[in-house]
Amino acid sequence: MHKPEQKVYYPDPCYRDSALIHDYNELYHEFEKDPDAFWRRIASDLLWFKQWDNVKVWNHPYASWFTGAELNITYNCLERHVNNDRRNKVAIFWAGENGRERIFTYYQLYKDVMRMGNALKSLGVRKGDRVCIYLPGIPELVVSMLACARIGAVHTVVFAGYGAKALNERITGAGAKIVITADASVRRGGSIPLKPIVEEALINAPTVERVIILRTQEPKVGLLDEFELDYEELIAQADRYCEPVPVNSEDPLFILYTSGTTGAPKGIVHAAGGYMVGAYYTTKYVLTLRENDVYWCTADPGWITGHTYGIYGPLLVGGTIFLSEYTPDYPDAGIWWKLIEDYGVTIFYTAPTAIRMFMRMGEEWPDKYDLSSLRLLGSVGEPLNPEAFEWFYKHIGKNKCPILDTWWQTETGMHMVTTMVGLPMKPGFAGKPIPGVIATVVNEEGDPIPPGTTGYLAIKEPWPSMMKTVYQNDERYRQYWSFGKYGYYSSNDLAVMDEDGYIMLLGRSDDIIIVAGHNVGTAEIESALVSHSAVAEAAAIGKPDPLKGNIIKAFVILRNGVEPTQKLIHDLKYHVRIMLGPISVPAELDFVDSLPKTRSGKIMRRVLKAKEMGMDPGDISTLDE
Ligand code: PRX
C-alpha cells in the first residue's frame, strides 16, 4: 500500500532554545527515575494545609494521591496570588457580545468567590454537598465553581446547551441540593431562555432545595418565593470573608458527567489533591502558561477542557484567562481573530471542529487582523487531521507557533499525550505520552504491537488527576482498569504508534460519537428517540463528516400504522433536541424496517456504519438472520 510521506515540522528556534521550555527527554527521564519524587517536586510548588504521608498509594485499580494531605484548591488559585505579587493582576478578561466587557483582577475574583461561598453556606450547603451549576460561560460560572470548592462542596457543572432531560439526569444523578443558573444565555445576538429548561428539569428532582438565579434581562423574570433566589441579592447580603475549608486530598472536588455506552451518563469524580497537581503541572509544563500570557481556551467551562484548562489550571499558575461568549461566526467570521488582536492573546487553545470551520470560511478573515501576539496554539477533542493542522499552522500561527494536539479525556483530568513544545511536530499525530504518563498502544490482550499497526491506547500506571471513581458506580470505574491481561486503563480509543513513539488517534472503539468535539452516547440518543410515541426501535451511529468530524445518523423503526413523513423526521429531531439539547440531534434520520442485530439482540452499529460508508461490514457471523 502506498503511504504518503509523513511531514515533520520543526519548532521555530526561539522555542527550541527558550529557557522556559523544559527538555522533554530530560523531564521524562526525571519522571522515570523516580515517579513519586517527580510528582512530589511538582506538588511542592503548591500550598497544602497539611503535608501528605505518601505521594501515591496504588492498589490496582485504586490509586490514592497525596494521602493524608489537606488543601483547598481556591487557596492555591486565589490567596497564593493575592498575598503575593499578583493581587492586581488580571485573572479574567471576559468579552461578551456587543462589546460588553468585564475584567476581574485576582483580588476581585477572590472577593466574589468568598461572598458566593458564604451565600452557599447560608443556604445550608456543607462540605461534600453537591451543587449543580447550569450557567453559560460568564464570570459567575467561574465564581460559582470556585465558591463550591472554597467551602468543600462538590460542583457538577452542566453545559448550558443541554436540554431538560439531560439536566434532570445530572441533577438527580449527583443528588444536587442547590442549582445555580441564569434566566437566559446570550448567543448570536439573541438570547436562549434557561429558566424554563431548569423548571422542567426540576420536576422529579427531589434533592433540590433551592435554585439561585442570575437575572440578566429586563424586565426581570419573577421568582418563586422561598424556592428561587436572586443571585445578586444573595451575594450582596453575604459576609465578606469566607475561610477556605481544608479538604482531604482524596475528597471529591467535582463530578462531571460524560456520555456512557449505556443510556445513563457517567458521573466522573475528580479528587481535590491529585486533580490540582495534574491541572497545575500540565498548564505550566505543557501549555507553558507564563506571567505575561493572555490565554484563551475556547472550550465552554461546562466541559472538562473548560474545567482544567479554562479555569483551574490557569488560575493555579496565576495566569490571565480570556473568556468570551462570542461564537466563532457572529457578528462575522472574523470575530475571534479580532478578539485575539484586541486582547493580545498569546496562547490559543481550541478544537479541530472550529479550525475546520475557519478553514471553510477562508483565510481572508484571520488575514484582516494582527495575530502576531500569538506564540502557541493548541487543539483538543478529536483528531486534528493533517489538513487542519497545516491550515492552523500557516494561517493562524504564521509558520512560527508550535501546535499542541492534546489527547486526553474527562476521565484523565489532564493532558496525557501531545507533542510538547520544542519537539518536532507530525501532523496527524497527537504525539508522545507527557512526562508523568505511561501510555502505549497494545492489542486486545494488552501486549505490545509493532509500530504502524492499529491497536488500543492504554495507560499502564496511575497519574495524579485520574478520576477517583464513577459516581455511585464503582463497578463502572473498575472496568476502566481492566483492559487486557495486565489490567491497564482503557481509553476506548483506537490508535497507532510510529517508530518514534508518536501516537496517532483513530477514533473511539466503543459507542461514543464525537460530534464537533462533543462526546455523545449512541444509547442516550436511541433512548430519547424510542421515548417518542411513534418510534418502536432506533439506532444511532457516527457518520464521518469533513466539518464536524462526525455527524449523528439515526435509523428508526416506526410503530405499526405510523406514517413515515418528512414532518415526523422534523418532530423526532425536535423531540431529541428538547430532551437532550442541540448537540445530540441527529443530522440525518432514516426510517427502516429492520436493524442489524446480534442473536442476543444487540444492535450491530458497526454493520450500519459500514453500510452507510460503502465499506465491508467485516465479521458478521453473529448477525441474526
Ligand atoms: O476519543 C478521544 C477524543 O475525545 C475523547 C474524550 O472525550 P471527552 O471526555 O469529552 O474529553 C474531551 C476533551 C479532553 C477521547 O477518548 N479526543 C480528545 N482529544 C483528542 C481526541 N481524539 C484525538 N485527538 C485528540 N487530541
DSSP assignments along 242-307, one per residue: -PPPPEETTSEEEEEEE--SSSSPEEEEEEHHHHHHHHHHHHHHTS---TT-EEEE-S-TTSHHII
Per-residue confidence (pLDDT) for residue 1, from 0 to 100: 41
Pocket test for ligand 1, best of 407, 410, 492 (most atoms within 8 A of CB): 407
Q: Which atom of ligand 1 is nearest to the CA of 505?
A: 23
Q: What is the DSSP string of 229-257?
A: EEHHHHHHHS-S--PPPPEETTSEEEEEE
In this structure, what DSSP letter does residue 461 have? S
Residues 223/123, Cβ–Cβ less than 8 Å: no
Q: Residue 174 sits in which domain range? A: 34-290
Dihedral sign for Cα atoms in the order 140, 300, 417, 265 = positive
Instruction: Compute CA distances 561 → 347, 532, 564, 573, whole Å.
Output: 57, 15, 9, 20
For atom 13 of ligand 1, the residue with the nearest CA is 381
Which H or E element spans position 35?
helix 35-43
Domain presence at residue 371: no
pLDDT value at position 509? 82
Which residues, at least 6 apart from 34, have a Cβ–Cβ distance to it below 8 Å? Answer: none
Is 327 among the domain residues?
Answer: no
Using alpha carbons only, what angle is made at residue 604 by residues 598 and 606, rounded to the nearest 5 degrees?
Answer: 145
Q: Residue 308: CB within 6 Å of ligand 1?
A: no
* DSSP state letters, 507-537: EESSSEEEETTEEEEHHHHHHHHHTSTTEEE
Does any domain span residue 149?
Answer: yes
pLDDT tens for 46-94 read 999 999 999 999 999 999 999 999 999 999 999 999 999 999 999 999 9
- What spacing in Å lies between the alpha carbon of 382 and ligand 1's midpoint? 5
CATH (domain of 567): 3.30.300.30
| Beta bridge partners of residue 50, listed in sequence order | 70
3-state helix, strand, coil in the chain (%, to 5): 30, 25, 40
528, 584 in Cβ contact below 8 A? yes
| Number of domains within the chain | 2
Ligand 1 centroid–CA 23 distance in Å is 25
Task: Evaluate whether residue 379 is within a structural domain.
Answer: no
Q: Is residue 559 part of a domain?
A: yes
All three cell numbers of 89: 493582576
491 Cα to the center of ligand 1, angstroms: 9
CA of 403 to the centre of ligand 1 (A): 16
340 vs 342: CA distance, rounded Å: 6
Q: Which amino acid is at 432?
A: K
Q: Residue of the nearest CA to atom 24 in ligand 1? A: 383
Q: Phi first, then psi: what are they for 551, rounded to 5°?
A: -115, 160
Ligand 1 atom with the smallest distance to the CA of 411 is 9
The alpha-carbon radius of gyration of the chain (Å, integer) is 24
**Residues β-bridged to residue 182:** 214
Query: At a CB cut-off of 8 Å and minimum separation 6, what does 187 contact?
Result: 97, 136, 325, 327
Nearest CA to ligand 1 atom 26: 407
- Domain stop point among 243, 273, 290: 290
- Check which CATH number belongs to the domain holding 42 and give it: 3.40.50.12780
418 Cβ closer than 6 Å to some ligand 1 atom: no
The helix-helix angle for 139-150 and 106-122 (nearest 10°) equals 60
Whose grid coordinates read 507533542? 419
Beta bridge partners of 504: 496
3-class secondary structure, 444: coil
The alpha carbon of 409 and the centre of ligand 1 are apart by a number of angstroms equal to 5
Instruction: Give the C-alpha separation, 463 to 460, whole Å.
Output: 10
Domain boundary among 240, 263, 290: 290
Q: Whose CA is nearest to atom 7 of ligand 1?
A: 409
Is any atom of ligand 1 closer than 6 Å to the C-beta of 493?
yes
- Asked whether residue 245 is domain-assigned, the answer is yes
Strands 90-96 and 247-248: unpaired
User: Which of 290, 311, 333 is the last residue in one of the domains?
Assistant: 290
Q: Which residue has the cell 504521608?
A: 53
What per-residue confidence (pLDDT) applies to 144?
Answer: 98
Residue 20 included in any domain: no
d(CA 555, CA 564) in angstroms, rounded, equals: 12
483 in any annotated domain:
no
Residues of the chain below pLDDT 70: 1-4, 16-22, 619, 621-622, 625
Q: What distance in Å separates the CA atoms of residue 265 and residue 163, rounded to the nearest whole number?
A: 14
For ligand 1, the distance from its centroid to the CA atom of residue 509, given in whole angstroms, is 12
State if residue 419 touches ligand 1 by the CB under 6 angstroms criterion.
no
pLDDT at 18: 61
